[in-house]
Amino acid sequence: MRGALFGDQVEGYKEAFVYNGVYEIANAPIKPCSEQWKTNSDELNYQMTLGRQTIIQAVNTESGPILPEYQYISQIPKAENPNYKFAMNANVLGIFLYVEEKARKIIISKECEHLVREIVIKDHSTEQPMIISTWNDLAEIDCGALSSWAKKFSVVGFTALRVLIHSFYTFFSLTSSMSTTIIHDPKRSRAQALSDRQARILDVRNPSQEKVVITIRALKQKTVHNTLQEERRWLKVVIPDANIDKVNTYLGCSNCGKRTDVPVGKAYACTTCLKDCAVFLPQEKPVMCTSRVTFNCEVSDGTGTLAITMFTQDCGKMFRMTAPDIFRVKHSLIGAELNRAELIGAELIGAELNLLELS
């Protein structure tokens, strides 16, 4: 059964009701309910009117505060009956992304206008953000306090939102009801977990200058569920077997690395770049034939070993030599003209601790 508060009653009964609480209500007249206020045909044709003589008493006074049960955005039930304008109410917890700067006026008739303001939130259950339309006092007063929150990506809770199905049932959004409240500081473990996850995302997108070093054992325990897409970490390792035989050198494209028979230093049109990298490389722009290097090895830090492959830029940092120098040394080795002084970088990597960036 539906009940409504008007005017000063809203503040007067603010402390008497708690969302999802169980109460005994006496001296509340029951009157017929207009069809326009019903969200679906299952509601009774009556509504409760709360007046000065109404008595409200909690059934369990020692139960403490009742916290809302939040739903994941991906699990919000949609209306299945086309005769229903709205589906059931939903409690949503999400990261606050955006709110309109000012509430917009929607004029229904000459004597009826409403304020509306849209909010955008998301959670980790889906990549698709959710639009919430807030109305009247909720749009003007409560949402006004949220204007500065979008930059902080704070976690916000919403209760008693209605699911609004749009034309042709292609998508849905959420809209506030008369019972909707905005919880600025939501409790429970889910709110804390969402806040911690967002803090990790911000830390990854705005990394500090300090390098975060992890072990190989910790790296192998990472999965798609506990690793962010843009996450970068460092390993502090040694290369026990820095064998020059595992260094591969060749001539290739300076852009994509594809092997070529073109003489080193000569500009040419790489067919692979023209086919696969047209977005990044204009078709008329030539590339150069340069020395390319790869290095296959195993690294260790005492907690485990890891097989890795390094490419030209990283090989140069590891060997403390440029790619052309590595190319020349490698081919001198094949020709039995090994110069040990030029391999000092290769010897160092087996004796020193090295920091490797993983992404």
Q: What angle do CA 79, 179, 182 make, to 5 degrees?
A: 100
Q: What is the pLDDT of residue 65?
A: 66
Judged on CB neighbours under 10 Å (0-12, 13-18, 19+), 101 is exposed
Residue 238 pLDDT: 85
What is the overall mean pLDDT for the chain? 77
- Using alpha carbons, select from 236, 134, 116, 216 the residue that is nearest to residue 181: 134
Q: Sorting pLDDT into bands at 50, 70 and 90, what band is 141?
A: confident
Please state the three-class secondary structure of 292-332 as a single string. EEEEEEEEECCCCEEEEEECHHHHHHHHCCCHHHHHHHHHH
**Tokens 């049932």 — which residue?**
169
Which pair of structure tokens corresponds to residue 207? 């990394």
What's the pTM? 0.53
Spacing of C-alpha 140 from chain mean position: 28
Residue 292 has pLDDT above 90, yes or no: yes
Average pLDDT over residues 165-190: 77
Ordered strands of the 46-49 beta sheet: 2-4, 46-49, 30-32
Which has more confidence, 209 or 221?
221
- Contacts of 349-352 with CB under 8 Å at 24 or more apart are 349/239, 349/242, 349/318, 349/319, 350/238, 350/239, 350/240, 350/241, 350/242, 351/238, 352/238
166-180, 239-253, 261-275, 294-308: least confident range: 166-180
The answer to whether 354 touches 236, Cβ cutoff 8 Å, is: yes
Give the other-Cβ count within 10 Å of 274's Cβ: 15
Architecture of domain 73-201: Beta Barrel (2.40)
353 pLDDT above the threshold of 60: no
Examine the pLDDT at 195 and tell me if it is beyond 70: yes
What distances in angstroms separate CA 357 from CA 119, 223, 236, 304, one per listed residue?
A: 38, 18, 9, 17
Give whichever of 2-11, 267-276, 311-320 has the largest mean pLDDT.
311-320
Cβ–Cβ under 8 Å, residues 77 and 87 = yes
Question: Which range is most confident: 53-57, 139-143, 310-314?
Answer: 310-314
pLDDT at 215 over 80: yes
243 closest CA partner among 297, 299, 291: 297
Residue-wise pLDDT tens digits, 81-132: 554 555 557 889 988 888 888 888 888 777 778 888 888 888 888 888 888 9
**Structure tokens of 5?**
């508060």
- Give the confidence band of 147 by pLDDT, cuts at 50, 70, 90: low
Per-domain residue ranges for the chain? 2-58, 73-201, 220-358
pLDDT digits (tens, 9 = 90+) for 127-138: 888 889 888 888
